[in-house]
Chain A
C-alpha cells in the first residue's frame, strides 16, 4: 500500500472515530495538539540512536573495548525493546514528569534504536568487507585503507540510513509506551490514558495519530537517506 493511500486511511479512521464520539472535532484537536511533542521525542531519540549505532557499528570489528561494546549492544538488541527499557527506567527513577522523565523517555527510545542501528551497520560492514568488490578493488591497486574509508564504512552508514525508512512503526509504538509510563504529554500518553479509561473514540483517534507519526518518520527518513542511498 503506497504511503498516500495509508495517509488517507489514517485520516478516514480519525474522522470516523471523531464522528462516533458525538463531538466530532474535540478528540482530533486534542490529538493534533499533542502530536508535535510525540514527534519531537521520537525523532530526537531515533536520530541519536541511529547516529550512535552507525558510528559504533561502522568501526572495524576488533578487540578494542569500543568494538566489544558495539558487539554487546548489537547482540543484546532483541532483548531491549523500548517498552521494557522504559519500564525499568520508570521503576528506577520514579519520574512521572519534568526533565528527568523526558530524559528517561528519550533514553529508553534511543537505546533500542542504537542497538538496532549498530547491528545493521555491523552486518553491512562485514558483508561489504567479504564482498568480491572489496577484494577486487584492492587487487586492482586501491590501498586497503582507501577501501575501508571510501567503500565499506559509507556502505555501513548507508545501510543504517536505509533502515531508518522502516523504523517508524517501532518508534511510534515505543513513544506510546514511554509517554504512558512516564506520564508525559503527547499523542502516545493520550492513547494510553484513553485506553485505560475505555474511551474508544479518543483512543482510536490517538492511535490514528500515532500511525500517521510512524508513516511520517518513514517518509522523512526515506527522503533523508535517498541522496546517500543512491550513491552506495
Chain B
C-alpha cells in the first residue's frame, strides 16, 4: 500500500462517524412529548430513523419536510410549514425540534425566521415550542449535533427564574441503562435534579398497552425552563467544545456553577462524580455505594492478570473514548490505538496530559476512518477492540474481537440495555472485556502452544498441519 495515499484525506474509507442532524435527533427524543422534523430531502430522515431504530429497537418517528425540486428552486418554506402542520395533527407534541440538513443549509434556508413566522401565522398553538438547530451534515459529526441540540434546547427553554436547590445533570450520548444508573445514584444521595436529555424511558420503553405514538418520559419542559436557577450543573462533557457546551452556556448566561466531569466510568471517573455529589450535598457517601465501589475493586483484582494481556483499540465518540481509555488504563488493558471520527483535539490533549508518565506507545487518530483504525490496529498488534458495531471488520478481517459499546450497535441486540457507568456499570463493563480476552485465549492457546513448542523427532511439520 502506498504510504503517501494513506495520509491525504480525499477519501473517507468506512466512516467512523455520522452526520450532525442524526446526533441532534437523540436529545429531542429525551424530552417530554417532543418530536423532530428534518428540513431536507426525505432520505436523510429515513436513513437516520433506520439507524436509530436498529440500535434501540424502538419506533423512531421523525418527520421530514420532504424537499423536492420545487422547494430547492423556490425555497422550502412552504414545505416546512406544511410539514409542521401535519406533524402537529398526527402527534400533537409539546415541542418540535427543527433540524437543518446539508440541503436546506446549502440553499440558504433561514429556519429560525420561518418558525417564528409560522407561530405567528398559526396563532393558537398553545404552549408549543419550536427549537431550531443548525445542523448541516457536512459541518460536523453526530457528536457535535448532539451537543448543539442540547445547548439550543436549553437556550430556548430556560428562563430567568428564582434560584433553587435542584441540580442540573447534562449527559452525552449514553445508553438508556446508563442514564438510569446515573439517576439511581442521584436518588441514593436524595438529590433533586433535572437530567437533560433523559431518553432512558423514551428510547427503552417497556412493553405496554395501549401503544403511544410519543412514548411517556423524557425531561419535563417546565424543569428545563428552571435549569437556569439551579444551584449547580454537572455536565459529563469534558471533551465538548466550549462554544457548543450546554453547561458553559448555563454558567455564562445565568451564573450556574459548572462541574464539567468525564463520564463516570472507571474507578477514578466515578469517584470524581461521587465526590462532586458529596460536596454539593454536604453528605457522606451512602453505604450501598461504598459497597458497590468495594465490589468493583474486588472485580479489578480478580481480573487484573487477565486484563494485563489486553492491547486495546478504542474508538467512538470522544466523550466515551476518553472514559474507556481511562478505565482501560486503570486495569492494565493498555490502549494501543485511540481513535475518533470527530475532530477532537480536546480529547487527545486531555488524554496526553493524563498519560505524562505512561511508557507505552499509543497511536492517536483524529477524524479517523476504519481503514486507518484497521491499519494501526494491525501495526500495533491490538488484541481487543472496544467501540460501536461499525468496527466489526476488525473482527471479520483481522480476527480482533470487538466488545460492543456506544452507538450504533446494529448487529447485536441490547445496545440500549448496556450498563457501563458508576461502580456497578464499570464492573459489568470490565467483565465483558475480561471475558472476551479469556474467550479469545481459550479459543487458541492449545493450538498456539502446540505450534510453538511441540517438535516431534520427525514429521513435525505435517503433524502441525494436520491439526490445523
Q: Do chains A and B interact in one complex?
A: no
Give chain B's interface residues, CB within 8 Å of chain A. Answer: none
Give chain A's interface residues, CB within 8 Å of chain B. Answer: none
